[in-house]
Amino acid sequence: MGKLYLQIPEWSWNLPEENQPTYVHHWVQPLQNSKSTPDLILYGAPISRSSISVSGASLYPTEFRRSWKSFATYNLDENVDLVQYTVADAGDVTMHTTDILLSHQRIQESTAYLVENYPNATTCMIGGDHSTTACAVRGIKEAYSNETIGILQLDTHLDVRDPKELGPANGTPIRQLIDGNIVKGEHVINIGLHGYFNAKPLIDYANKHKIQMVTLKQARNQGLIRTIQKSLNQLSSKVDRIYVTVDMDVLDISVAPGVPASTPGGMTTIELFECLLEIGRHPVVNHIDFVCLDPSKDSIVAETVKTGVYAWLQFVTGRILQT
């Protein structure tokens, strides 16, 4: 049924521009101010104490919003003015300091609440570590228990480590969902795997559960955009709604200082931006998240946070182009 555990973020919408907004921080409005259903609802899941290694990804929602003022609302490449699209910020899910399960439960219930009460809005969760994805997907399933959910995952890792061993940690979300019968393995497509970053037993699990693995090399060979299109088309023929999860560690380590798990040989930012534009364009994508970006490790100029905001705006631009 869902319940809302959302704090109003420390953010100043109280200085609206006189006319049409031209920067992102004036364009996005708080959900509680919304008169009608927004096109997209944003909410933060600021938890990273569920991360296997030390992570400050809990700080990302705040830094994500703080970076908005560096971005204009106009995309010149696509000749699109974002202000025609309404984005509402629901704030951050209230986390408990030490009770990880309770925090996870609240992410699930808040997601359920939002998708139930705003059925026509796209939802976008800003993590937090990757454990939050399992919570969000369970929340959607709670609200739409009759629907089948598919997952498109951009990630260097499979994230199918065993929750029996680790609890609901950030290496486990896809396995939580499969073992918990929320999502079928065959409805999961992972794009971005490469190198030597997934141990053999995890690949065995993925194969056993028919997770589709498209390595970055394979995706580049067949065209990254075409791979995205094909994957979304395939999923949309089999499921009712598609959840996209973007683990920022899919990015190459040289462009993502703020993602401790990023590796050499990963995606370029241009590739990520093109993928998100394409994903935004696809009508069956209902939900998206961006996770595992730790601003406390970012470069002084907040290079990775800026990349994260850019990627999100590409998704929004895609949404507009779709219509």
Going by the annotation, the residues of the binding site for Mn(2+) are: 130, 155, 157, 159, 247, 249
CB atoms closer than 10 angstroms to residue 1: 8
**Nearer residue to a copy of itself within complex by CB, 65 or 241:** 65
Q: 38 vs 43, 69, 132, 311, CA distance in Å?
A: 13, 21, 23, 20
- By three-state DSSP, how is residue 7 classified? strand
Q: Write out the two tokens for 289.
A: 């998240």
Which residues define the annotated binding site? 130, 155, 157, 159, 247, 249
Count CA atoms within 13 Å of residue 238 on its CB side. 17
* CA distance linking residue 112 with residue 118, whole number of Å: 10
The nearer residue to a copy of itself, 241 or 306, going by C-beta atoms, is: 306
Residue 228's contacts (CB-CB under 8 Å, 6 or more residues apart) are 152, 191, 275, 278, 279
Closest CB to a copy of itself among residues 136, 239: 136
Tell me how far, at minimum, the Cβ of 22 lies from a copy of itself, in Å: 4
Q: How far is the CB of 81 from a copy of itself (least distance, A)?
A: 6
Closest distance to a copy of itself from the beta carbon of 237 (Å): 26
Least Å from the CB of residue 189 to a copy of itself: 15
Note whether 256 and 292 are within 8 A (CB): no
Which of 151, 246, 164, 160 minimizes the C-alpha distance to 197?
160
Measured from the CB atom, the residue of 1 and 165 that comes closer to a copy of itself is 165
Closest-CA residue to 157 (of 53, 69, 263): 263
Cis peptide before 308 (omega within 30 of 0): no
In the complex with a copy of itself, the residue whose CB is nearer, 2 or 265, is 265
Cβ-based nearer residue to a copy of itself, 107 or 242: 107
Torsion of CA 320, 108, 308, 82, to 10 degrees: 20
Helix (H, G, I), strand (E, B) or coil at 96: coil
Residue 33, classified by CB atoms within 10 Å of its CB into exposed (0-12), middle (13-18) or buried (19+), is exposed
Least distance from a copy of itself to the Cβ atom of residue 28, Å: 13
Residue 40's CB is within 10 A of a number of other CB atoms, namely 21
Among residues 2 and 168, whose Cβ is nearest to a copy of itself? 168
Q: Can you name the residues that pair with 289 across neighbouring β-strands?
A: 125, 245
Residue 299 CB, shortest distance to a copy of itself, in Å, is: 7
